[in-house]
């Protein structure tokens, strides 16, 4: 290995000295903006009569974005190529957003199914009607995404379960409901 000399560090030292005032300005600016953000959120909490902890998540997200932007600016001033970093960050954020939107509907329906199973607003065998919607029929099946209704015209309607927690339901109890243990143990969907 060769020995490093002071001359090997001279270009870096010059670049650091040239970038130092701008880097210092970015650091001071970021600190001041963090201070303004904290005080602004505190004033907003007082004005809205909120507890400060209710606005804390907004402050954390804003501080993270602010500090991340300051870091990227510092890296750019110090000579690092940040074009690839921006592309990578944008790609990751885009993938997370697309994944969240794609999974949201399934998670929403699954959670609503659990709520329906726990609180039992209706059972298999009940006649349901969604107020304000042309949806009416007898409940013949309930799974983790849909509730299947048998309409008067003989057709089957598959209604997403999250709709039952968003709309007013008119319920006419059936003659004999089918227990949850029977529904879960059945090999075929319940037929009423």
What is the per-residue pLDDT across 138-174, written as a single tens digit (0 to 9) for each?
A: 999 988 889 999 999 999 999 999 999 888 999 998 7
* Residue 96 forms part of a structural domain: no
Q: What is the DSSP letter of 52?
A: G
* Residue 1 forms part of a structural domain: no
* Residue 110 forms part of a structural domain: no
Average pLDDT of the residues of the chain: 84
Query: pLDDT digit string (tens) for 57-114?
Result: 888 988 998 998 898 888 888 877 777 777 887 888 888 888 887 788 888 888 998 9
Structural domain range at position 44: 6-80
The C-alpha atoms of residue 151 and residue 137 are separated, in whole angstroms, by 4
Residue 74 shares a structural domain with residue 124: no
Question: Tell me, what's the pLDDT at 160?
Answer: 93
Number of domains in the chain: 2
Please determine, for residue 1, whether its predicted confidence score (pLDDT) is greater than 60. no
Residue 14 shares a structural domain with residue 75: yes
Residue 127 shares a structural domain with residue 73: no
The C-alpha atoms of residue 124 and residue 179 are separated, in whole angstroms, by 8
Residue 74's nearest CA partner among 136, 122, 28 is 28
* Residue 97 forms part of a structural domain: no
CATH number at residue 129: 2.30.30.60
* Residue 129 forms part of a structural domain: yes
């Amino acid at each position: 290995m060769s020995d490093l000399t002071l001359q090997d560090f001279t270009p870096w030292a010059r670049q650091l000295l040239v970038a130092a005032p701008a880097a210092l300005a970015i650091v001071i600016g970021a600190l001041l903006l963090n201070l303004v953000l904290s005080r602004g959120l505190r004033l907003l909490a007082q004005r809205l009569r909120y507890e400060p902890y209710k606005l804390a998540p907004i402050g954390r997200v804003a501080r993270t974005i602010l500090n991340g932007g300051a870091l990227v600016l510092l890296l750019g001033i110090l000579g690092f190529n940040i074009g690839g970093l921006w592309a990578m960050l944008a790609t990751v954020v885009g993938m997370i957003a697309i994944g969240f939107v794609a999974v949201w509907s399934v998670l929403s329906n699954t959670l609503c199914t659990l709520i329906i199973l726990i609180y039992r607003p209706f059972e298999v065998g009940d006649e349901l009607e969604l107020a304000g919607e042309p949806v009416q029929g007898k409940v013949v099946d309930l799974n983790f995404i849909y509730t299947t209704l048998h309409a008067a015209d003989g057709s089957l309607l598959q209604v997403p379960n999250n709709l039952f927690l968003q709309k007013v339901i008119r319920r006419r109890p059936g003659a004999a409901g089918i227990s949850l243990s029977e529904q879960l143990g059945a090999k075929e969907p319940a037929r009423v």
